[in-house]
Amino acid sequence: MSERCAVIGVGQTFHAAARTDVSIAGMVREAARRALDDASLDWPDIDAVVIGKAPDMFEGVVMPELYLASALGAVGKPMLRVHTAGSVGGSTALVAAHLVTSGRHSRVLTVAFEKQSDSDAMWALSVPQPFSPPLLAGAGGYFAPIIRAYIRRSGAPDHIGIEVAVKDRLHGLRNEYAHLHMEDINFDMVRDSIMLWDPIRYLETCPSSDGACAMVLGDEHAAESSQVPPAWVHGMAMRSEPTMFAGRDQVNPQAGRDCAADVYRQAGISDPRREIDMAEVYVPFSWYEPMWLENLGFAAEGEGWKLTDSGATSMDGGDIPWNCSGGVLCTNPIGASGMLRFAEAALQVRGRAGEHQVDGVRRALGHAYGGGSQFFAMWVLGSEKP
Amino acid sequence: MSEVTMSDPEVLRAPHVLEFPYSRSVGRDLGAFFTGLVEGRVLGASTRGSPDRVVVPAREYDPITGEDTDGLVEVGPGGVVTAWGWTDHPLEGQPLQRPFAWALVVLDGASNAILHVVDSGSHDAMSTGMRVVARFRDPAARVGSITDIECFVPEGSAPQADRAAGVEPVTVLSTPIRLDYTFSAGIAQSSFLRGLSEGRFLGQRCPRCGQVYVPPRGSCPTDGVPTTDVVELPDTGTVTTYCVVNVPFQGQAIELPYVCAQVLLDGANISFMHLIQGIPADQVRMGLRVRAVWVDRDDLVPSMESVRYFEPTGEPDAPYESYEEYL
């Protein structure tokens, strides 16, 4: 039987298109220091550090964990680096949680970051390869055909993607750390924004951000000594699948469904829409909200868009608010984006989400995906000890 | 099973260069360090604790304890060599183009060494424990880089650095990085590429599940077994899904907007991405029947670029059910 684990500290940077005021080390420390302060702990209290980020090509610093070990107080302690593309922030938190549930460590600091302004990260994702023409235009070029397939399969009307883009930006206005604060966001503005990768409009995509996120995870003793209510891990899982194989369902990937089923089984959840109070889900293009509503079992296949359309996922009157922080659509330092989802779930469960707090959250889902929808990481946190 | 070596003539290779012009923000303390170099001085940061230390280059944190540092301290320009290694034949791009020593130098007042080079003239002039002093470049040549210190030289042989005042603070370092790779296509893809140079699509079938992969990868991702049966496919197929690209990008060679589609060749069980032309972008649709338009016979090469694009065949659209499972 494994040990219990809880989130006892959460911190993040102020996110922006370019944080030219800090080095990479200064940026990760900004998040880590806030997490330590939130946990009322200091560097010597930490037993191990687990760090994650997306491809090293984004900053041109190969194996940044070597250089960042000293910046994160890891001297004389174990330090691990995790990499699972865009889901890395989630899987990094899960590796850290496993160090606690295994009974090996009492307090683990986990950090994820990306400093995308150091390069042009969008194109670092689609470098032309020999023997093939340069067709792939960034992540949007990869995901747009899959979104088109979802629209065809579900019969969803065009305005669904626009609604999500508006809703998440409205949520983001309540989050002081978010990169985008679009005071004047509205339906027409999104609808009239340029169609970058038809069917994806400019305002239906995430920004490119600099930022970091950190959490302190503790065992039962550390959680019970915490001055702030802990967020207990009720379930956690990762799954992966090949990017391409014959018969692969790219719209509704098996690995995502399996990962969710595993987490819900651990947490004793049979109806996520009713039993989870809020979810923070990796939605980099607005259409991924209805797609993941189905993949994660909040709606039947083909019905996710109806849930979005009904307003159910909005903080303003919805019964299952998604992405109260503003989500990836407001803040996207790729390596940290998954951990920001996991951290928002923790903030909500601990009642520490400030203006974007949902009343009475007892259980929250944090979700991340990456690569060509081939890596998934999720956890369910709860206010009560499992 | 035959052994594959790196020089296998069946495997196609091509140069592959990854190159990005990184601009790295240096933050408060490293910024002060680089600004100091432009000014002609070396700055460390003092740490709290016992004993107090001075870390060089200056940074926001004590690398031992992780605590915040406590302010800037000027160190050097003299120091002591604590370890060194001699280079008889400098490589292109190294700091000096004459024999020199790589050395760890602890600057006076610093608690740790930095790596730099010593221009001592000869191997015999080097010794551990020797005193050296930083030789700065001329103020006009200093840019806010560690190479603003051209090298260290034995003490007594360098003039005092000319100090520069009113220097613009250094906030961003430009660090272009280029990596030169040789891309290897592998055996399965090489045979596919050779097919393209003959105007043919050669896929492979999995002996276990029977699925046809084009381009082939040499193994079945589902069953994990080699896909050895070669299958020639027609150059007609169906657009399963697509996007219209309106965004300019690095390496873009096609006029905007263009249609990038997943094309499922007839008889294949997986689609690949290619360009659709010969039809206005807003008339492309899922299920559109298309045929490859090849480059001229004499221009065929072992590359997907042998197919200029796919264009409509004029047949009725394929029914949704016929390609639904390939989405």
Residues in chain A: 386
Q: Who has greater pLDDT, B321 or B18?
A: B321
Contact B20 A119 (CB under 8 A): yes
Percent of chain B with pLDDT over 70: 95
**Minimal CA separation from A110 to chain B, in Å:** 15
Distance CA B193, CA B216 (A): 10
Contact A149 B172 (CB under 8 A): no
Q: What is the mean pLDDT of residues A40-44?
A: 96
Contact B243 A152 (CB under 8 A): no
The number of beta carbons lying within 10 Å of the beta carbon of residue B182 is 10
Q: Is the pLDDT of residue B6 over 80?
A: no
A59 in B contact zone (CB under 8 Å):
yes
Contact A131 B304 (CB under 8 A): yes
Q: Which residues of B touch A140 (CB under 8 A)?
A: 243, 247
Helix (H, G, I), strand (E, B) or coil at A356: helix
Q: What is the mean pLDDT of residues A175-185?
A: 98
Q: Which residue of B has its CA nearest to A249?
A: B327
Q: Both tokens of residue B265?
A: 């060749």
Report the predicted TM-score, pTM, of the whole model to 2 decimal places. 0.94
Q: Both tokens of residue B97?
A: 């183009």
Query: How are beta strands A48-52 and A79-82 bridged, if at all?
Result: parallel
Query: How are beta strands B212-213 and B201-205 bridged, if at all?
Result: antiparallel
Distance CA A167, CA A174 (A): 12
Distance from chain centroid for Cα B7: 25
Residue B299, Cβ density class (10 Å: 0-12 exposed, 13-18 middle, ≥19 buried) = exposed
> Which one, of A116, A200, A111, A214, lies nearest residue A160 by Cα?
A200
Q: Is the pLDDT of residue A16 over 70?
A: yes
Whether the bond between B207 and the residue before it is cis, its omega within 30 degrees of 0, is no
Q: Which residues of A touch B269 (CB under 8 A)?
A: 246-247
Q: What is the mean pLDDT of residues B161-182?
A: 89
Percent of chain A with pLDDT over 90: 89
Per-residue pLDDT at B1: 40
Q: What is the mean pLDDT of residues B232-260?
A: 88
Helix (H, G, I), strand (E, B) or coil at B150: strand
Contact B270 A20 (CB under 8 A): no
Q: Is the pLDDT of residue A124 over 60?
A: yes
Distance CA B65, CA B57 (A): 16
Distance CA A113, CA A72 (A): 13
B274 in A contact zone (CB under 8 Å):
yes
Distance CA B43, CA B227 (A): 61
Question: In the structure, what pLDDT confidence band is assigned to residue A121 with cuts at 50, 70 and 90?
Answer: low
The lowest-confidence range among A56-60, A228-232, A233-237, A302-306 is: A56-60
> Which one, of A203, A242, A311, A29, lies nearest residue B30 by Cα?
A29
Q: Both tokens of residue A353?
A: 């989400």
- Are B134 and B149 in contact by the 8 Å Cβ rule? The answer is yes
Rg of chain A over CA atoms, in angstroms?
A: 19
- Are A290 and A304 in contact by the 8 Å Cβ rule? The answer is yes
Question: In the structure, what pLDDT confidence band is assigned to residue B32 with cuts at 50, 70 and 90?
Answer: very high
Q: What is the pLDDT of residues A332-368, one digit of tens each?
A: 999 999 999 999 999 999 999 999 999 999 999 999 9
**Minimal CA separation from B255 to chain A, in Å:** 11
> Which one, of B93, B141, B95, lies nearest residue B119 by Cα?
B95
List Cα–Cα distances, A250 to A254, A314, A374, B25, in angstroms: 9, 26, 9, 38
Kindly list the strands in the beta sheet with A79-82, ordered across the sheet, starting from the edge strand earlier in the chain.
A79-82, A48-52, A107-115, A210-218, A6-12, A231-240, A375-382, A363-370, A278-280
Chain B (134-193) residues lying within 8 Å, Cβ to Cβ, of chain A: 171-172, 175, 177, 183, 185, 189, 193
Q: Is the pLDDT of residue B156 over 90?
A: no
> Which one, of A307, A280, A233, A256, lies nearest residue A12 by Cα?
A280
> Which one, of A90, A265, A269, A136, lies nearest residue B272 by Cα?
A136
Q: What is the pLDDT of residues A278-301, one digit of tens each?
A: 999 999 999 999 999 999 999 999
Q: What is the pLDDT of residues A206-216, one digit of tens each?
A: 999 999 999 99
Between the two ends of chain A, the Cα-to-Cα distance in Å is: 13
Q: What is the mean pLDDT of residues B154-179?
A: 86
List Cα–Cα distances, A142 to A138, A284, B172, B272, in angstroms: 7, 12, 32, 12
Per-residue pLDDT at A135: 78
Residue B125 per-residue DSSP state: G
The number of beta carbons lying within 10 Å of the beta carbon of residue A326 is 27
The lowest-confidence range among A129-143, A348-362, B51-65 is: A129-143
Mean predicted lDDT score pLDDT of chain B: 92
Q: Which residues of A touch B212 (CB under 8 A)?
A: 246
DSSP A47-101: -EEEEE-S-GGGTT-SSHHHHHTGGGT-TTS-EEEE-BTBTHHHHHHHHHHHHHH
Q: Both tokens of residue B162?
A: 């000319």
Percent of chain B with pLDDT over 90: 81
The number of beta carbons lying within 10 Å of the beta carbon of residue A270 is 10
User: Which bin fits A296, alpha (ψ -120 to 50), beta or left (φ > 0)?
Assistant: alpha
Q: What is the pLDDT of residues A313-336, one digit of tens each?
A: 999 999 999 999 999 999 999 999
Per-residue pLDDT at B2: 45
Per-residue pLDDT at B250: 66
Contact B305 A132 (CB under 8 A): yes
Distance CA B230, CA B219 (A): 12
- Are A309 and A161 in contact by the 8 Å Cβ rule? The answer is no
Mutate: best of B35, B184, B241, B274, partner A, most A CBs <10 A: B241
List Cα–Cα distances, A25 to A183, B27, B34, in angstroms: 32, 9, 16
H helix or E strand, kind and range, residue B173: strand B172-184
Q: Is the pLDDT of residue A132 over 90?
A: no
Percent of chain A with pLDDT over 70: 98
The two most distant CA atoms of chain A are separated, in Å, by 59
Q: Which domains does chain A have, with CATH numbers?
A: 6-119+210-224 (3.40.47.10)
Contact A130 B25 (CB under 8 A): no
Contact B25 A18 (CB under 8 A): yes
Q: Is the pLDDT of residue B164 over 60?
A: yes
Q: Is the pLDDT of residue A25 over 70?
A: yes
Whether the bond between B215 and the residue before it is cis, its omega within 30 degrees of 0, is yes
Residues in chain B: 327
Per-residue pLDDT at B50: 62
